[in-house]
Amino acid sequence: MLACTGLLGWAGYAAVASVVSQTEKTGPSTFAGYVDATLTPTYSYGTPAGPAQSNVILSFVVADPTSGCTPLWGGAYTLDAAADELEMDRRITQLRSTGGDVRVSFGGQAGTELAAACTDVSALEDAYQSVVDRYQVASIDLDIEGASLADSEGGARRATAIKAVQDNAIADGQQLAVWLTLPVATSGLTADGIAVVDQMLDQGVDLAGVNGMTMDFNSGVSPTAPYSDAVLEAANSLHVQVSDAYRRIGTKLDSPRAWEKVGITPMIGQNDVAGEVFTIEDAQVVNEFAREHGVGQLSMWSLNRDAECQSPLPKIITVVQNTCSGVDQGSQSFAEVLAADLPNVLPTKDEDSSPSAAPTSSAAPSPTSASGDEVDDPAHSPFPIWDPLGDYPGGTKIVWHKNVYEARYWTSGMAPGTPVANPDDSPWTLVGPVLPGDTPAPLPTLAPGSYPQWNETEKYTTGTRVQLGNVPYEAKWWSQGQEPGVPAAGGSPWVLITPAEGE
């Protein structure tokens, strides 16, 4: 099954010798959707479509196959590589500038969970801490499934390391919410899942809650009954098990407080099990249940999949797809239905919460805040500055008014950020702001001899192409002696050529 993770909010427990009753009024449910952060095409979580998509759980951080204590996104990208190749730091900063936020999920179905691969507890703590510090998150998710679920030794290391990371946050005057995401049947957690919860509580980890992966049940699902029936049965079973787990450490939770520590995460649309389909109607039922019971959090796998399948695929399909749900959604999105009438707020750091490797000011621009008088500095722009006479193939990234944009398809002449009635009418997608510390990316190059070398004595007419070294340029108007790539009064007569893919 596809892995999910946890969600949000934190409610502590008092690990005391005597039984303490907690009877505070339950809080409202909250919503945040999972995003497969390394899946292509990239889901644009930095520019959410609306409030339901504004808080996300980025997944998954796992262990480097060759260096078990090194965290990798999707088993392929170091934190630095994710910043360079996935624009992760920039997208997170952009999302936060709109009022949204992120949680990081560790583990998942694929790859090797950090605690399983890293046998040095101190190094394991450092691995978790490096991710928390890099993205300045106030909430993390531990998605434990597969072989990691039964790995008792790895579980003990995980509990010890997470307790230390949580204590570090407290020492800094912060809090770190920790959600456990575990597979559930209609009868609730497996014995291994219960053991994982017990390990964390016994170590003194202040769990925000236990998030059930209410998906891929394989049993307990009837073709004639709504899939939501199985989801709610699993949630009710998990609620009892959460109460029991806290009772074992000497803490009595009343029913509302126990519901605050329960998460529900369905897999939207077609599940991995062919006969199991979670519909929009199921989402409405789960939303109502969560609001009625004060469930701590709702999520879904995944925002990447929250769309109908498009041609050449049929709208309804029984084979799981990564970028569509496989069901008829009408005009609705699963995120909006699940989040209806719920606050979608993640815990945040008290201070500026931009990724620490590339901090930004609290005045980071929103998609509509760029103004025409902003001047882009080539020395601090990670990509070439947009030129109205330039040609930009799809996938090209440029800087305009201190924001990075990516071309959705070939374009020329239309400025990024130009108001349009429909975002799909723009050839540009906002990636995020230029970050302090950004430096120019390497210029595009072509093989030697692709065009003549520029010569300062040569007279060049409009459309002439040259190379300076291996960097290609095209003349915008007549010139002589003006070196390509060098700023000039009134503008350079040269525009950088961005080679099309494969050129």
Indicate the pLDDT class of residue 491, thresholds 50, 70 and 90. confident
Indicate the pairing of strand 20-22 with strand 465-468.
unpaired
Is 25's pLDDT higher than 60?
A: no
Indicate the pLDDT class of residue 475, thresholds 50, 70 and 90. very high
Is 354's pLDDT higher than 60?
A: yes
Query: What is the C-alpha to C-alpha distance for residues 412 and 159, in angstroms, rounded to an integer?
Result: 54
pLDDT per residue as tens digits for the range 283-304: 999 999 999 999 999 999 999 9
Indicate the pLDDT class of residue 498, thresholds 50, 70 and 90. confident
pLDDT at 351: 57
pLDDT at 7: 32
Domains of the chain and CATH, by start: 20-338 (3.20.20.80), 378-433 (2.10.10.20)
Query: What is the C-alpha to C-alpha distance for residues 87 and 160, in angstroms, rounded to an integer?
Result: 32
The identity of residue 136, as a single letter, is Q
Provide the whole-model pTM: 0.87
CA distances from 496 to 85, 202, 289, 426, 486 (A): 22, 61, 57, 22, 11
The identity of residue 187, as a single letter, is S
Length of the chain in residues, anyone? 503
Query: Residue for token digits 């999302």?
Result: 95
Rg of the chain (C-alpha set): 25
Torsional sign, CA 396, 399, 401, 404: positive
Query: Residue for token digits 């994982």?
Result: 196
pLDDT at 22: 41
Cα 322–284–6 angle (5° rounding)? 55
Which letter, b or e, does each residue of 158-187 get, where b requires 16 or more Cβ atoms within 10 Å of its Cβ?
Answer: bbbbbbbbbebbeeeebbbbbbbbbbbbbe
Nearest of 290, 266, 261 to residue 28 by alpha carbon: 290
Query: Residue for token digits 């029913």?
Result: 255
Is 21's pLDDT higher than 50?
A: no
450: tokens are: 């692709």
Indicate the pLDDT class of residue 423, thresholds 50, 70 and 90. confident
Cα 164–101–253 angle (5° rounding)? 55
pLDDT per residue as tens digits for the range 118-161: 999 999 999 999 999 999 999 999 999 999 999 999 999 999 99
Note if 145 is an active site residue.
Answer: yes
Please tell me which residue in 125, 145, 260, 406 is annotated as part of the active site. 145
The contacts found for 477-486 with CB under 8 angstroms, 24 or more apart, are 480/456, 481/456, 481/457, 483/454, 483/456, 484/454, 485/443
Between 372 and 74, name the one with better pLDDT.
74
Is 4's pLDDT higher than 90?
A: no
pLDDT at 221: 76
